[in-house]
Amino acid sequence: MRDALADRVDVDEGDRLTREHWPVFKAKLEKTGTIAEAEALRRQAVPEGTPGRKFYSNFGTFLVKSFMIPDGAGYAELLLYLDFLQRLVASGELKPEYLSEIEGPIRRALGQ
C-alpha cells in the first residue's frame, strides 16, 4: 500500500512535468492564427494521461464549444485565448463585432 508521501511525490512530479510542457504548448498556440491552424494544433494533442494534455484538451474544448471557457483553464491559458481571438480577427476569420461578445466572459474570468 502506498503512503501519502509517495502519492504526494507522484502528484508533484506530474505537476512539474505539466509545467515543463506549458512553454511548448504556449509557443505553438502563439503561432496559431486561423481556425485551420487551431484544428491542427488540437490534433497534435499529447496522449491522454500525458503531462501537458490538459492544455490541448482545454484548447480543444474552447474551439468546439464556440469559444466558451473550458473548466480548468488557467489564467495564462485564458490570456492566450484572447490573443488567439485577436489573430482570428486579423485573419478575417472572426468578425470584429463578435469579438467583444466572446471576450467578455473571458475578461470577467480574468478579473478585467
Q: Which of 108, 102, 109, 110 is nearest to 84 (CA)?
A: 102
Q: Which pLDDT score, from 0 to 100, does residue 8 have?
A: 40
Confidence of residue 19 (pLDDT cuts 50, 70, 90): confident
DSSP the chain: ---HHHHHHHHHHHHHHHHHHHHHHHHHHHT--SHHHHHHHHHTPPPTTSTTHHHHHHHHHHHHTTTPPPTT--HHHHHHHHHHHHHHHHHTSS-HHHHHHHHHHHHHHTT-
Is the pLDDT confidence value at 13 over 60?
no
The pTM assigned to this predicted structure is 0.84
Percent of the chain with pLDDT over 90: 72
Q: Which pLDDT score, from 0 to 100, does residue 30 have?
A: 97
